[in-house]
Structure 1
């Protein structure tokens, strides 16, 4: 067996589809299929059940795929050890970031990383928390910036900062002139939420739990609406369609003519932003360099965490 064959079976197990797995591995589907058939014959086991629309992994195949992933990671670790001997922060760092952090942290972070570690370019992927965790597990990403909480996956976690939330309301809204607002006061408002899959949606529902019933109840459409991004939701707020909750770093640099951002009264709702990576990842200096680049960013209004 070869590392290439092991990569193929891991890809098929992840994609549950031979065509998509082949695309992910940058090979033709016949090439991938022939290699997997050869490996099944060599091992004398059936790894996959081929269905009409989806491929499933056999129970024994699941065990073999898990072992194959470990072998791939160990092989990558050998390369990383060799690279680290020359320059620990040399070469790209594959970093993931959730959608509600990326647009607001990345502009400063990329500039900071270029200044501090120009030899370590960031290869960036934006995605949902669950997708980033899966990419970390499979070795497609080296690290990710996300918000707690998330499922315990045995990853290494370093806190970065605590970020407060603010209420965003139209300038014409009665609350717009207030110095602060309580979550209780938002209960009677039409709440604009991110779509399902965004962890920030869950954070907002923690602040205003009464809106949880609207997110899946057809009648609740009158009380809550969904957007695909925080910026889209801000436009909806500006248009007077409702109010929302936003993280501190998403505030515009200049005052918004159409949207007022109001701090919450104590206790102020916040989210903890963390850096996550596999415990088996060997480029420790690269992780430290990334953290230093993040701390070199302005991060206005957040509480930096170094522990």
Structure 2
């Protein structure tokens, strides 16, 4: 039994597909398949059920995969301990960020990280919360910046900041001149939403639950539209297609010719942004350095938090 074979079974369990797992491990599919078959023969049990287009993990295979992941992490921990003896911050840190935070935090964060810990480059991955949680669990990421709530997966979590929401409307819209808008008024407007999978979509639907039904006849609600990113939705709002709700850090510093951002009236909805990492992750100094780099970013309009 080798670490390479253990990495192969973890990859197959994650991808549920031998071909994709082979690509992720940078080997050919026959190489991966032969190695897994050899391991199954050595253990005298089936780890995977092969059938149809998708691979499933057997009940005993689930336990083996979990143990394999722990062994891989412990092996990596040995390397990290050796590195820490020379420089606690040496080596890259693999950081995940959700799509609705990345474009607005990463430019400043990368700059701060280069200035403060040049020996610890950030290897960045933008994705949905569910995917980042999976990559944390399997050791593909060391840490992730996400918005609560998310499923309790036994991760260590440190709060970073509370971020208020703003309402984006066309500059010509009657709401553009208001000093603040109650959430109740938004149900009379055409709301532009992020597509399914974005946690910020769920945050907006908490503020405006009427839009969860996509009703065309309830209290004047018109059909809602979906966009693939906050920046796409901004352009849709600018063109007069509707209004939307945005996190504070996505609001441009300069005044926009076709777009106005108006605060919510109290109570102002917010989201809590946190840093999460596996409790078994041994580079404590790296996590602390990353938090310090985040706190050194401007973060206009948010409430900074400390654990």
Structures share fold, TM-score greater than 0.5: yes
Could you tell me which residue of structure 2 aligns to residue 201 of structure 1? 201
Could you tell me which residue of structure 2 aligns to residue 141 of structure 1? 141
Could you tell me which residue of structure 2 aligns to residue 51 of structure 1? 51
Alignment of 1:1-150 (within 5 A): 1-150=1-150
Deviation at 1:106, TM superposition (A): 0.5
In structure 2, C-alpha distance between the alignment counterparts of 1:120 and 1:104, rounded to whole Å: 21
Secondary structure in structure 1 of the residue aligned to 2:188: coil
Q: Which deviates further from its counterpart, 202-211 or 94-103?
A: 202-211
Deviations 1:135-161 (A, max 9, x none): 000000000000000000100000000
CA contact (8 A) 1:47 1:61 kept: yes
In structure 2, C-alpha distance between the alignment counterparts of 1:84 and 1:268, rounded to whole Å: 44
CA contact (8 A) 1:189 1:223 kept: no
Structure 2 runs not aligned, ≥5 long: none
The 1:298/1:114 distance shift into structure 2, 3 A limit, reads same
CA contact (8 A) 2:161 2:303 kept: yes
Deviation at 1:192, TM superposition (A): 0.3
Deviation at 1:130, TM superposition (A): 0.4
Structure 1 runs not aligned, ≥5 long: none
What TM-score results when the alignment is normalised by the length of structure 2?
A: 0.97
Deviation at 1:67, TM superposition (A): 0.8
Deviation at 1:253, TM superposition (A): 1.8
Deviations 1:64-93 (A, max 9, x none): 111111111111111111111111111100
In structure 1, C-alpha distance between the alignment counterparts of 2:16 and 2:131, rounded to whole Å: 15
Deviations 1:223-261 (A, max 9, x none): 210000000000000000000000110011210111100
The 1:50/1:171 distance shift into structure 2, 3 A limit, reads same
CA contact (8 A) 2:160 2:275 kept: yes
In structure 1, C-alpha distance between the alignment counterparts of 2:58 and 2:269, rounded to whole Å: 45
Deviation at 1:6, TM superposition (A): 0.6
Could you tell me which residue of structure 1 aligns to residue 177 of structure 2? 177
Secondary structure in structure 1 of the residue aligned to 2:49: strand
In structure 2, C-alpha distance between the alignment counterparts of 1:46 and 1:161, rounded to whole Å: 46
Could you tell me which residue of structure 2 aligns to residue 276 of structure 1? 276
In structure 1, C-alpha distance between the alignment counterparts of 2:248 and 2:286, rounded to whole Å: 27
In structure 1, C-alpha distance between the alignment counterparts of 2:46 and 2:66, rounded to whole Å: 15
Secondary structure in structure 1 of the residue aligned to 2:236: helix
In structure 1, C-alpha distance between the alignment counterparts of 2:188 and 2:304, rounded to whole Å: 34
Structure 1 stretches (4+) deviating beyond 4 angstroms? 217-222
Alignment of 1:266-305 (within 5 A): 266-305=266-305
Deviation at 1:219, TM superposition (A): 8.0
The 1:300/1:67 distance shift into structure 2, 3 A limit, reads same
Deviation at 1:60, TM superposition (A): 1.0
Secondary structure in structure 1 of the residue aligned to 2:279: coil
In structure 2, C-alpha distance between the alignment counterparts of 1:59 and 1:306, rounded to whole Å: 41
In structure 2, C-alpha distance between the alignment counterparts of 1:26 and 1:264, rounded to whole Å: 49
Deviations 1:1-56 (A, max 9, x none): 01100110111111111110000001111110110011111111111111121111
Secondary structure in structure 2 of the residue aligned to 1:32: helix
The 1:2/1:257 distance shift into structure 2, 3 A limit, reads same
In structure 2, C-alpha distance between the alignment counterparts of 1:52 and 1:158, rounded to whole Å: 42
Deviation at 1:95, TM superposition (A): 0.0
Deviation at 1:302, TM superposition (A): 0.5
